[in-house]
Amino acid sequence: TFEFVDLAPGTWKVQTDLVGYYPARDAEVVKPDEVAEVTYYIEKGAYNPYEVVVVAEKVIKEVNRRTLTRADLRVPGTLGDPVAVVENLPGVARTQGGQIIVRGSGPQSTGVFIDGIEVPLIYHFGGLKSVIPADVVDTVDFYPGNYGSYYGRFTGGVFDAHIRRLDGEQLHGSLDISLLDTSLFLQIPVTKEFSVAVGGRRSYIDALIPIFVPDDADVNITSLPVYYDYQVLANWRPSEAHEVRALFLGSDDSFKALFDNPSDFDSQIQATSFSFATSFQRGILEYRYAPSTTFRNQLKLALGKDNADFSLGDQFYFRLGVLGLQIRENADWTVTPWATVTAGVDAILQWADVNVLAPAPPVEGQVGGNDDLNETIYSAVNNAFFGVVAPYVEAKVDLFDERLSLVPGLRMDYWSEVKSEHFTFDPRVVARFKLADHWVVKGGVGLVHEAPQPNQLNEDFGNPDLGVQRAVQYSVGGEWLPTDFIKVDLTFFYKDLQRLVSSTNAVNEDGTPLRLDNNGTGTVYGLELFAEHKFNDNFRGWLSYTLSRATRVDSGQTQERLFDFDQTHILTLAVVGRLGDGWEAGATFRLV
C-alpha cells in the first residue's frame, strides 16, 4: 500500500517495479478536492522455489478424504476436468462409458454432489467432459468409503464438488478453448459485499463429425451431438456472521440419427431413427449463519428438474421427467475445545413421470437383458412420489492432547418408495491416533444403505417388494508425513455387501415371475497407496496404486463370480512442474 499527497490536478503516470513481478504502468487522473483510490493487480514474473503458501486444512473426520484444490485440478492429461482428476486417485476405476467405479461398487452406488446437492449426471455424453468446468470449482472432496453421517444413500463412494466463493474486489475472467468445446467464465464484483459470476460452455462436435463421416455412410446424422452447460453464481456477505449464496446451473446433451439399413446393426432392429437427450437444472439457495467461532449453521434449498429421452424410432423408448426438491440443514457446535457436535437433516422429495417401451433391462451380472428385442414391456407412471428424509448426528472428540480423535455418528433414513422397509439406521465410527510427529494410524467401520433403482421397484420391470441394499465398510491404515510437503498414505479396506438386488427364477404364490430379489451378496477387499509431493521447489506430483478384488454371489447360486467392473490393478502417476513466467508442464500415466 502506498499513497501520494498534495498532488496537483492533472494526469499522473504511475509505475510499479517490484522484484519478482512484471513492471506495471498506468495513468491516473487527479481531480481537485477528490481522493482517488486505485487497486493494481500485477503479474508474477517468476515463481520463488522457496515460496510458502499456507492453506488451512479441513478438520479430518474420515479415514480417507482426498481434497483437490484448484491447483490440483490443472493436472496435465485431464484437460482441467475436475472429475478426470478424481479418476487418478486410489480406489477409483472407470468404465468405457465414463462411469465411476469406487471400491468395487456399481456406478449407481457412488453419489455425485455439487455443494452437497445431489445431481443425476457428472459427465456429458457418458465421459467426454464433466458438467462443471474447473473455473467454477473451488475444491473437490472424494470419499472412497467410510464417509461421515452427512452423506448417505450410497454403498460406494462420494464425489462432492464445492463451488468457489466469489472475490468481492477483483474482476476476473477466463476463456478455455479445446478440441471439443469452448467455455467462458466471468466474475464481476458489484460491491465489496456482493459479487456475481456467469459461466457457460458449448461443444462443437457437431462441426467436427461431418469431416469424418462420409456422405455415403449408412447413418444419416440429422441432429449432430451437442452439449452445453451454464452456471450463474451470486455471493452476498453483509457481515461476518451472515452470508447468502445462490447458484443456478444446468446441463444439456442431445443427438439424433437416421439409419438407412437398421438391420445391419441387428436383425431385430426395425426402427430407422435414434435419438438421445438428457438435461438437468438446479437452483440452489444457501444461507450461512456464524454468530461466533463456536457455532455455525447452514441451510440449503435446491429445486431441480431432470429430463431423459431415449428412443429407437417407435420400437423402443424411455422418457423420464423428474421434479425434485432437496433440503439440507446442518449445524456445527463446538461444545468444548476438545468436542464438536454436528447435527442436521438431509431430505430429497421427487415427483416423476416415466414412459417406457423396452425389453427388460439387465441387472449386475447379466450380459444383457432380454435377448429377444421383440419382447418389450410397456410401463407408464405419472406423478410418482419418491422421498428420503434423513436426520443425522455426529461428534468429534479429541483425547490425550489431541493425539486420539474419535468420530462416532448415526444416520437414520426414511425411504418412502421401499414398501418392505421404510426405516434404516447407519451407525458409523472413525478413529485417528497420532503415534508420533510424522505417523498416524487410522481406521473406521460403518453401515450404509442404498435403495434399489426405480426400474427395479417397478411392478412391470422388477419387484415392488424389494428391500434396501446394505454394506458394512471397514478400513484401516496409516499415514507417514516425513516433511511438510510429502505424504504417504496406505489403507486396507474390506466391504461386506448384503441384500443385493439380483435376478431370480423364483415365482410368486400366484405363479407370476418374481424377477428380482434381495438374495445377492458380495465382498470387496484390497489396498490403496497414495504418495503425494505437494508443490515445493516448483514440483508437484503423486503416485496412486489400487489393488482390489470384487466378487458377487447371485441369488440361488453358491459360486462366486467377479464383479462386472472388477479392475484388479490400477496405477497412476501424475507430475507437474513450474517453468516460470506462469508456465507449467506435466504428464499423467495410467495403467489398468
Residue with cell 455455525: 296
Q: Which residues contact 280 (CB under 8 A, 6 or more apart)?
A: 119, 120, 121, 250, 251, 304, 305, 306, 307
**Is the separation of the CB atoms in 310 and 317 below 8 Å?**
yes
For residue 331, tell me if it sits in a domain.
yes
* Ramachandran quadrant class, 402 (left: phi over 0; alpha: psi -120 to 50; beta: rest): left
Asked whether the beta carbons of 407 and 443 are under 8 A apart, the reply is no
Q: What is the mean pLDDT of residues 511-522?
A: 89
- The alpha carbon of 26 is separated from its chain's Cα centroid by a whole number of angstroms, namely 43
pTM: 0.83
DSSP character string of 30-43: E-TT----------
pLDDT for residue 51: 44
Q: 486505485: which residue's cell?
A: 38
CATH number of the domain at 171, please: 2.40.170.20
Domain that holds residue 486: 66-591
Residue 29, all three cell numbers? 487522473
Q: How far are the Cα atoms of 204, 327, 454, 522 from residue 518, in angstroms, in the given order? A: 45, 30, 15, 12
Q: Per the domain annotation, does 514 fall within a domain?
A: yes
Burial 464-485 (b: 16+ CB within 10 A, else e): ebbbbbbbebbbbbbbeeeeee
Q: Is 466's pLDDT higher than 60?
A: yes
Band (74; pLDDT cuts 50, 70, 90): low
313: left (phi over 0), alpha (psi -120 to 50) or beta: left
Domain count for the chain:
1
Question: Of the ranges 6-10, 190-194, 237-241, 300-304, which one carries the lowest mean pLDDT score?
Answer: 6-10
- How far apart CA 66 and CA 143 sit, in angstroms, is 7
* Residue 175 included in any domain: yes
- What gap in Å lies between CA 303 and CA 136, rounded to an integer? 20
Count CB neighbours of 213 within 10 A.
Answer: 14
Q: Does residue 23 fall inside a structural domain?
A: no
478-482 mean pLDDT: 93
Min mean pLDDT across 11-15, 204-208, 277-281 is at: 11-15
The segment with the largest mean pLDDT, out of 191-200, 272-281, 574-583, is: 191-200
DSSP characters over 215-265: TT-SEEEEEEEEEEEEEEEEEEEEETTEEEEEEEEEEEEEEEEEES-GGGT
The per-residue pLDDT for range 399-431, each reduced to its tens digit, is: 999 899 999 999 999 999 888 888 999 999 999
Position 300 in a domain: yes
Residue 8 lies inside a defined structural domain of this protein: no
Residue 37 lies in a domain: no
The answer to the question of residue 526 being in a domain is yes
What's the confidence (pLDDT) of residue 30?
72
Report how far residue 508's alpha carbon sits from residue 559's, in angstroms, rounded to the nearest whole number. Answer: 25
User: Comparing C-alpha atoms, which of 73, 146, 82, 151 is closest to residue 111?
Assistant: 151
| Per-residue pLDDT at 171 | 83
What is the percent of the chain with per-residue pLDDT over 70, rounded to a whole number? 81
Task: Select from 179, 77, 76, 41 the least CA-distant residue to 583.
Answer: 76
Instruction: Pick 393 or 58 by higher pLDDT.
Output: 393
pLDDT band at 584 (very low <50, low <70, confident <90, very high): confident
